[in-house]
Structure 1
């Protein structure tokens, strides 16, 4: 056999996910949320604090969160208590609450000189980017979780989306409420998203006495 006919030998590359935690990202626990908030408040980072708080409250996908406009959350000279947007993935509307603490942090951010004349809630730094990218948002989430000693690979932008609904489900067991808050069209999607198992269902059933 001539050398020309020999099979090519390719360098063995390590798997892209070697050493990484893949799959569904963990939601933050309440103690994690407060730890990150305190750090952002101490640092005086108005934008990141507002972004973090609204990410938790809105439960939006990263692609929808970064595209929010000021008018989506602000009207009549104040931050709204509830807001509604059309999801880019499903083209269906979803509503979300804006808690008092989040409204305060948004108010501080909207008063920042960087927000003068901006239509987008999270303006980009370059003229060709009207708002921050999902990649930038992902990097911010990584910085937030590592700042309190969490493993970055275990968390992501979907951690922010899952954090509040995970607590709602844990306290109420109400899957329908979680489905509405996440804007899912199918209950199966909500079940998979929360990672609901038979043990969860049995625990809820055992808590109900008839």
Structure 2
């Protein structure tokens, strides 16, 4: 099939999209560009002769040229729809785009605060009131513990003031605090319990909170409760942290997982011990923890760019 024949088939397909599916002019234009690019990439191949390996090779070429996985996925979708139409209306035996997938998008790095920003946030800002209200003491204890021990918010709200047993002799608590040992035990994903150290500042904040903590209304041993004695929920912790971050002037959107990411990044930067960070985070696989090695390099790169006299040469400077 010559170029004119290929253009005719593509034109008929686009016309059908406009009339039968009533797609917008913008969408039709995007389909037209994608098909024109396919024709340019395979200038001597008739549509009916395009093979599965041709499409795989083109997807790999686009990736090597720096196209994002999302862009490649969109092009493949356009091409797949066109070849589906050819199979239905023009006698194509099989769709060569079937089973071809775009490269996986890179997993975005978790956001982490700088050490100074994290400390400023969890400590309550530069200047707190001389006699903070119980809610403020509760907030500081929760935020310090999140950052000190890298807890998930679901783990935080499950912590009790002490270990408790049920009538069957088994642990009745999802987690508990051991102030004397400086540890907290929590139940993570898959029901797996782990023990994590608690830092000095978090222990001090916890002791200040326990001095004013109201008794839980349900008779439980919940560590964090509201003014009415209800066990703190994950949603309330999220809202309190967000409001607190705005109040102390934190410039980024903060949620409890940001403190967990910050904990992991800062411990790894200081120790370089990936396995220990894995254990403290409760990751079943070290693969989940390895993302923080990228965060660690990101920190090193930022230091390099600020400190090295030749750093700007990487951006084309002299």
Fold-level match, TM-score > 0.5? yes
Matched, 1:46 2:137: yes
Alignment match of 1:73 (pick from 159, 177, 180): 177
Counterpart in the other structure of 1:183: 282
TM-score, structure 2 normalization: 0.48
Is 1:104–2:195 an aligned residue pair? no
Q: CA RMSD in A?
A: 3.2
What is the CA-CA distance between 1:125 and the residue it aligns to?
Answer: 5.0
For residue 96 of structure 1, give the secondary structure of its aligned residue in structure 2: strand
Under a length normalisation based on structure 1, what TM-score does the superposition of the two structures give? 0.70
CA deviation profile, 1:62-109 (whole Å, cap 9, x unmatched): 1111121111114xxx5541222222x221122111222221211111
Distance in 1, matches of 2:200 and 2:273, equals 24
* In structure 1, distance between residues paired with 2:258 and 2:246: 13
Task: Give structure 2 stretches of 5+ with no counterpart.
Answer: 1-20, 22-107, 163-175, 302-318
- How far does the alpha carbon of each residue in 1:189-210 deviate from its partner, in whole angstroms, 9 at most, with x for none? 1113x2627967x99xxxxxxx
Displacement of 1:29: 1.8
Q: 1:179 to 1:162 in 2, by over 3 A?
A: same
Q: Which has the larger radius of gyration?
A: 2
For 1:79 and 1:118, locate their aligned partners in 2 and report how far apart those are by CA, in whole Å. 21
Greater relative contact order (CA < 8 Å, ≥ 6 in sequence): 1
Question: CA offsets per residue over residues 44-63 of structure 1, 9 Å max, x none?
Answer: 22111111111111211111
Supply the distance in 2 between the matched residues of 1:173 and 1:143 (Cα, whole angstroms).
33
Counterparts of residues 28-39 of structure 1 (less than 5 Å) = 28-36=113-121, 37-39=123-125
Distance 1:195 1:158, change over 3 A: farther
Task: Show the counterpart of 2:260.
Answer: 161
For this pair of structures, how many residues does the alignment match? 176
Distance 1:197 1:166, change over 3 A: closer
Which of the residues 222, 228, 239 maps onto 1:120? Answer: 222
Pairing 1:140–2:240 present: yes
